[in-house]
Chain A
């Protein structure tokens, strides 16, 4: 399948200068993400997976190498609002109701009131939160809040969805449910998703491509392509193929000395 490449990174490096000397957050990263892919970055803390996502989003700038997002430089892509970003925490504005939180990017980008109303109801429906429009964030559970933040990211209808450990703070039961919902959402909207996680089952279950990363310096060790059907359910986690892929991810992490102290 020769889909157009959405993200293209070549020999990408990022070094933070700190008081204790340079920190090599990313070192010579090569990566291609194609249209419609679901790509997960997995690795231990400090492997640069979040940093790589932030470089794609132009929240950090690479020190060396080349990266393009939708064929543009990251800052151009950001200015053109090419992506939606979901953070580790919901980062909802507590003084806005759910619908007005989803409306935030739409207000900033100057959508008409009618267009805003239509997109709010469509995207809240997409994350199964119809009926919660007038609630304030504190009235919702953590999982619901994170779904609101996904609706907010989808509201501007970006082709690319960047997600930074969006379910990391949630318990496993809620996480399983949201993984299933995210997968359905991805199948329906045909977005390209880049997803940061430190959970092996989550990465294997969700992804078309798993990017295994390792720290000091932050680098890519392995890229594993999975061939699970698009309409998979949580049951596939018991299948031999699933365990084989999970094993390969674990092997990759071991090779990268991710389990050493």
Chain B
């Protein structure tokens, strides 16, 4: 499976040519080139008077287009400088640090993810065991996801704020609201995945419903659970960011996005987006890592 790549160790150059490194690098380079080129016309309104004042020419055009203090589209290196300054220069506990905002968003993401997973698994267990629930509950669960989260998030924040709940929990609830859904859908399928023979076997042992759940349905559902969790943790992060938008945005990735757009700090917006992408892929990777360890412990073929 996934471990096949580590079994034989080709040379570094070979891995570069045959693995996914080379295609990914090429795509990244193409994107960067397009990005630099696009920055010239997009920043034209701001850069044109400055270029004229400097005497025009290609050199001036490029250097000015790519170094405006508040560009419409910042050049990649401007975003990198912003990232460097806010991640490595500023102390991480200060509100000017991007790490501080990442941690604020990450903490509500993780809390929402845990709550959503518990809710999702709980609903799935109930639905699998009680026939009536699958008919009565399922339509509501699906309907819950058709409501745009951007519409519902401010209401949740405001209503909870009015009863004194602010900060971490309201944002986590929005994450939970988004991420319980894939967990429920995946786990309903997963818990019902044992074949009739495996269930008959439990019946011949006169096993209780709880024993069937823990010794058969739960282990059989784990591949489905991990597939759902990968989706869930990514949208939990989206939920946390959306939850930060209507709060007046004191802290978090969402706050950075909002602040950046208020003050035309596009580097700040892009840096926050990069941070969100890095966190998101890191979290998905972490779930995948745990999944592989669990699969090995459960006798999966290496």
Q: Which residues of A contact B (CB under 8 A)?
A: 57-59, 78-79, 81, 83-85, 87-89, 91, 93-97, 104-105, 107-109, 136-138, 156
Contact = CB atoms under 8 A, between A and B. Distances in A.
Contacts of B197: 87-89, 91
Given A95-B219, A107-B215, 16 more contacts: A59-B200, A59-B204, A78-B203, A78-B206, A81-B205, A85-B200, A87-B197, A91-B195, A93-B198, A93-B215, A93-B219, A95-B299, A104-B215, A136-B299, A137-B299, A138-B299
Nearest to A80: B206
B220 to A, nearest CB: 8
B9 interface: no
A119 B195 CA distance: 27
Contact of A91 (B198, B220, B222): B198
B201 interface: yes
B299 A97 contact: yes
Interface of B: 195, 197-198, 200-207, 211, 215-216, 219-220, 222, 298-299, 301
Contacts of B219: 93, 95
Contacts of A156: 205
Contact of B298 (A57, A79, A88, A95): A95
Contacts of A94: 298-299
A180 B203 CA distance: 29
A105 to B, nearest CB: 5
A81 B197 CA distance: 17
A155 to B, nearest CB: 10
Nearest to A95: B298
Contacts of A104: 205, 215
10 contacts: A59-B200, A78-B206, A81-B204, A81-B205, A84-B204, A85-B200, A87-B200, A93-B219, A95-B220, A95-B222
A79 B298 CA distance: 30
A97 B200 CA distance: 20
Contacts of A136: 299
A178 B299 CA distance: 26
B299 A57 contact: no
A91 B206 CA distance: 17
Contacts of B205: 81, 104-105, 108-109, 156
Contact of B204 (A57, A95, A97): A57
A241 B298 CA distance: 51
A87 B199 CA distance: 12
Contacts of B203: 58-59, 78
Nearest to B301: A138
A93 B216 contact: yes
B301 A108 contact: no
A89 B200 CA distance: 12
A88 B201 CA distance: 12
Interface centre among A79, A94, A137 (most CB of B within 10 A): A94
Nearest to B201: A91
A95 B294 CA distance: 10
Contacts of A84: 204
A74 B209 CA distance: 20
Nearest to A59: B200
Contact of A85 (B204, B215, B298, B301): B204
Contacts of A78: 203-204, 206
A123 to B, nearest CB: 15
Contact of B206 (A81, A89, A93): A81
Given A93-B219, A94-B299, A138-B301, A108 B207 contact: yes
Scoring A57, A84, A104 by chain B CB atoms within 10 A of each residue's CB, the highest score goes to A104
**Of residues B198, B201, B298, which shows the largest number of chain A Cβ atoms within 10 Å of its Cβ?**
B201
- Which of A83, A84, A87, A137 has the largest number of chain B CB atoms within 10 A? A87
Contact of B299 (A58, A79, A89, A96): A96
Nearest to B211: A108
